[in-house]
Amino acid sequence: MTKPVVLDPTRCDFVKKDGSQCRNGAGKGTEHKGQGRCRTHGGNSPTHVKAAARRQVMAMATEADGDPLEVLMKTIRVAWGAVPWLQEQIADIDPDEGNTKLFIAYQQLYGEWTERAARFSKMALDAGVAERQVRVVERQGELVAQVIKTILDGLQLTKAQRSLAPQLVRTALLQLEAAT
Protein backbone atom coordinates (compact mmCIF):
# COMPACT_ATOMS: atom_id res chain seq x y z
CA MET A 1 0.00 0.00 0.00
CA THR A 2 1.39 3.37 -0.98
CA LYS A 3 1.40 6.17 1.55
CA PRO A 4 -0.45 9.39 0.73
CA VAL A 5 1.50 11.92 -1.28
CA VAL A 6 2.04 15.41 0.10
CA LEU A 7 1.44 17.49 -3.01
CA ASP A 8 3.88 20.20 -4.03
CA PRO A 9 1.61 23.15 -4.97
CA THR A 10 4.13 24.37 -7.57
CA ARG A 11 3.69 21.14 -9.57
CA CYS A 12 0.81 19.54 -11.48
CA ASP A 13 -1.53 18.00 -8.91
CA PHE A 14 -1.96 14.72 -10.85
CA VAL A 15 -0.95 11.68 -8.79
CA LYS A 16 0.33 8.74 -10.82
CA LYS A 17 -0.54 5.07 -10.19
CA ASP A 18 2.74 4.61 -8.33
CA GLY A 19 1.69 7.36 -5.91
CA SER A 20 4.14 9.99 -7.14
CA GLN A 21 3.14 13.46 -8.25
CA CYS A 22 3.53 14.62 -11.85
CA ARG A 23 6.86 16.39 -12.36
CA ASN A 24 5.48 19.13 -14.63
CA GLY A 25 4.96 22.57 -13.20
CA ALA A 26 1.43 23.49 -12.16
CA GLY A 27 -0.58 24.48 -15.22
CA LYS A 28 2.28 23.78 -17.68
CA GLY A 29 1.03 24.13 -21.26
CA THR A 30 -2.24 25.77 -20.19
CA GLU A 31 -3.55 29.32 -19.88
CA HIS A 32 -3.53 28.95 -16.08
CA LYS A 33 0.21 28.51 -15.56
CA GLY A 34 1.02 28.05 -11.90
CA GLN A 35 -2.43 26.63 -11.08
CA GLY A 36 -3.78 23.07 -11.25
CA ARG A 37 -2.98 20.33 -13.70
CA CYS A 38 -0.62 20.42 -16.67
CA ARG A 39 -1.74 19.99 -20.28
CA THR A 40 -0.80 16.30 -20.26
CA HIS A 41 -3.13 15.55 -17.35
CA GLY A 42 -6.23 17.38 -18.56
CA GLY A 43 -5.34 20.91 -17.47
CA ASN A 44 -6.98 22.35 -20.61
CA SER A 45 -10.31 20.61 -20.06
CA PRO A 46 -13.20 22.97 -19.23
CA THR A 47 -13.53 21.48 -15.73
CA HIS A 48 -9.87 21.99 -14.90
CA VAL A 49 -9.74 25.48 -16.41
CA LYS A 50 -12.72 26.46 -14.26
CA ALA A 51 -11.21 24.85 -11.14
CA ALA A 52 -7.90 26.66 -11.74
CA ALA A 53 -9.74 29.97 -12.13
CA ARG A 54 -11.63 29.29 -8.90
CA ARG A 55 -8.35 28.52 -7.05
CA GLN A 56 -6.79 31.69 -8.45
CA VAL A 57 -9.73 33.83 -7.31
CA MET A 58 -9.61 32.29 -3.84
CA ALA A 59 -5.86 32.92 -3.63
CA MET A 60 -6.30 36.57 -4.63
CA ALA A 61 -9.46 37.27 -2.63
CA THR A 62 -9.14 39.27 0.55
CA GLU A 63 -11.65 39.91 3.27
CA ALA A 64 -13.55 43.16 2.81
CA ASP A 65 -16.24 44.92 4.75
CA GLY A 66 -19.46 45.38 2.88
CA ASP A 67 -22.94 46.51 3.73
CA PRO A 68 -25.22 43.68 2.58
CA LEU A 69 -27.56 46.11 0.83
CA GLU A 70 -24.67 47.80 -0.99
CA VAL A 71 -23.34 44.40 -2.05
CA LEU A 72 -26.76 43.38 -3.36
CA MET A 73 -27.23 46.66 -5.25
CA LYS A 74 -23.73 46.45 -6.79
CA THR A 75 -24.42 42.85 -7.79
CA ILE A 76 -27.60 43.96 -9.55
CA ARG A 77 -25.77 46.76 -11.39
CA VAL A 78 -22.99 44.41 -12.52
CA ALA A 79 -25.42 41.71 -13.66
CA TRP A 80 -27.58 44.21 -15.52
CA GLY A 81 -24.46 45.91 -16.95
CA ALA A 82 -23.60 42.70 -18.80
CA VAL A 83 -26.98 42.67 -20.57
CA PRO A 84 -26.53 45.72 -22.87
CA TRP A 85 -22.95 44.64 -23.63
CA LEU A 86 -24.21 41.24 -24.75
CA GLN A 87 -26.96 42.92 -26.80
CA GLU A 88 -24.26 44.88 -28.65
CA GLN A 89 -22.20 41.74 -29.25
CA ILE A 90 -25.22 39.89 -30.62
CA ALA A 91 -26.12 42.81 -32.89
CA ASP A 92 -22.55 42.92 -34.29
CA ILE A 93 -22.46 39.23 -35.27
CA ASP A 94 -23.44 38.17 -38.75
CA PRO A 95 -24.46 34.49 -38.45
CA ASP A 96 -24.07 34.15 -42.23
CA GLU A 97 -20.30 34.66 -41.83
CA GLY A 98 -19.90 31.38 -39.95
CA ASN A 99 -20.20 32.85 -36.45
CA THR A 100 -23.20 30.73 -35.54
CA LYS A 101 -21.57 29.17 -32.46
CA LEU A 102 -20.52 32.57 -31.11
CA PHE A 103 -23.99 33.96 -31.86
CA ILE A 104 -25.65 31.11 -29.95
CA ALA A 105 -23.18 31.42 -27.07
CA TYR A 106 -23.89 35.15 -26.70
CA GLN A 107 -27.64 34.53 -26.87
CA GLN A 108 -27.35 31.95 -24.09
CA LEU A 109 -25.23 34.32 -22.00
CA TYR A 110 -27.76 37.09 -22.61
CA GLY A 111 -30.51 34.87 -21.21
CA GLU A 112 -28.38 33.84 -18.22
CA TRP A 113 -27.39 37.42 -17.31
CA THR A 114 -30.93 38.71 -17.75
CA GLU A 115 -32.22 35.94 -15.50
CA ARG A 116 -29.43 36.60 -12.98
CA ALA A 117 -30.23 40.33 -12.83
CA ALA A 118 -33.93 39.55 -12.36
CA ARG A 119 -33.14 37.06 -9.59
CA PHE A 120 -30.92 39.58 -7.75
CA SER A 121 -33.57 42.28 -8.20
CA LYS A 122 -36.17 40.00 -6.63
CA MET A 123 -33.79 39.38 -3.73
CA ALA A 124 -33.49 43.14 -3.25
CA LEU A 125 -37.26 43.58 -3.31
CA ASP A 126 -37.73 40.68 -0.90
CA ALA A 127 -35.11 42.21 1.41
CA GLY A 128 -37.02 45.51 1.42
CA VAL A 129 -34.20 47.47 -0.22
CA ALA A 130 -36.56 50.00 -1.82
CA GLU A 131 -38.27 50.72 1.48
CA ARG A 132 -34.91 51.08 3.22
CA GLN A 133 -33.67 53.44 0.53
CA VAL A 134 -36.79 55.59 1.02
CA ARG A 135 -36.19 55.64 4.78
CA VAL A 136 -32.56 56.68 4.24
CA VAL A 137 -33.58 59.53 1.94
CA GLU A 138 -36.29 60.63 4.37
CA ARG A 139 -33.77 60.60 7.23
CA GLN A 140 -31.31 62.64 5.15
CA GLY A 141 -34.09 65.16 4.45
CA GLU A 142 -34.85 65.41 8.17
CA LEU A 143 -31.18 66.01 8.93
CA VAL A 144 -30.89 68.72 6.26
CA ALA A 145 -34.00 70.42 7.67
CA GLN A 146 -32.53 70.27 11.18
CA VAL A 147 -29.25 71.80 9.98
CA ILE A 148 -31.08 74.63 8.20
CA LYS A 149 -33.24 75.30 11.27
CA THR A 150 -30.17 75.37 13.53
CA ILE A 151 -28.40 77.83 11.21
CA LEU A 152 -31.44 80.11 10.94
CA ASP A 153 -31.99 80.07 14.72
CA GLY A 154 -28.31 80.83 15.30
CA LEU A 155 -28.41 83.86 13.00
CA GLN A 156 -31.11 85.54 15.17
CA LEU A 157 -32.87 86.92 12.11
CA THR A 158 -35.44 89.69 12.21
CA LYS A 159 -39.06 88.83 11.51
CA ALA A 160 -38.72 90.18 7.93
CA GLN A 161 -35.56 88.17 7.29
CA ARG A 162 -37.11 85.04 8.78
CA SER A 163 -40.09 85.41 6.42
CA LEU A 164 -37.68 85.31 3.42
CA ALA A 165 -35.88 82.17 4.64
CA PRO A 166 -38.38 79.47 3.48
CA GLN A 167 -38.35 80.68 -0.13
CA LEU A 168 -34.52 81.03 -0.17
CA VAL A 169 -34.06 77.56 1.31
CA ARG A 170 -36.53 76.07 -1.17
CA THR A 171 -34.77 77.73 -4.13
CA ALA A 172 -31.34 76.55 -2.90
CA LEU A 173 -32.58 72.96 -2.42
CA LEU A 174 -34.16 72.90 -5.89
CA GLN A 175 -30.87 74.11 -7.38
CA LEU A 176 -29.01 71.42 -5.47
CA GLU A 177 -31.42 68.75 -6.71
CA ALA A 178 -31.06 69.96 -10.32
CA ALA A 179 -27.26 69.78 -10.05
CA THR A 180 -27.30 66.13 -8.94
Q: What confidence tens digit (pLDDT) does each residue in 131-149 have?
A: 887 788 888 888 988 898 8
Q: Are 49 and 63 in contact (CB under 8 A)?
A: no
Pick left, alpha or beta for residue 66 (phi over 0 → left; psi -120 to 50 → alpha; otherwise beta): beta
| pTM of the entire predicted model | 0.49
Residue 1 clears pLDDT 70, i.e. is over it: no
Per residue in 151-176, pLDDT (tens digit) is: 988 999 888 888 888 888 888 888 88
Q: Can you tell me the distance from the alpha carbon of 129 to that of 121, in angstroms, rounded to the nearest whole number?
A: 10
The SS3 of residue 32 is: coil
Per residue in 105-133, pLDDT (tens digit) is: 889 999 999 999 999 999 888 888 888 87
Q: Can you tell me the distance from the alpha carbon of 4 to that of 12, in angstroms, rounded to the nearest whole number?
A: 16
